[in-house]
Amino acid sequence: KAGVTQTPRYLIKTRGQQVTLSCSPISGHRSVSWYQQTPGQGLQFLFEYFSETQRNKGNFPGRFSGRQFSNSRSEMNVSTLELGDSALYLCASSFSDRLDEQYFGPGTRLTVT
């Protein structure tokens, strides 16, 4: 079974631009969660989608948004990029929204210059 895939793997953007990242979960998985990982803050929860509905959102500004499609694929968008948005963005999928374990994709490395 294929794992979680994320595209693109690497991205360089300029301050003020916007970016869209994509995540395809493991086949059959319906829950997709997004995390930001930085050396200073570690892994921080951004939001989680289940059956196209956002079920939870972390403490990030409104510039960070996401959505989930009917095939469970998910996208996250960051508008008006700031230097501090440079990070590894990780997507994780799980079978359902309850106690099931989450599996991470390879991540998208975003650099904002």
Instruction: Provide the minimum distance between the beta carbon of 81 and other proteins in the complex, in angstroms, as a whole number.
Output: 22
Q: Are 19 and 78 in contact (CB under 8 A)?
A: yes
> DSSP assignment, residue 85?
G
Query: Cβ closer to other proteins: 46 or 78?
Result: 46
**Smallest gap, in angstroms, from Cβ of residue 52 to other proteins?**
14
**9 or 15: CB nearest other proteins:** 9
What residues make contact with other proteins under the rule CB under 8 A? 31-33, 35, 42-45, 48, 50, 55-56, 58, 88, 90, 92, 94, 97-99, 101-107
DSSP string, 27-84: TT--EEEEEEEETTTEEEEEEEEETTEEEEE-S--TTEEEEE-TTS-EEEEE-S--GG
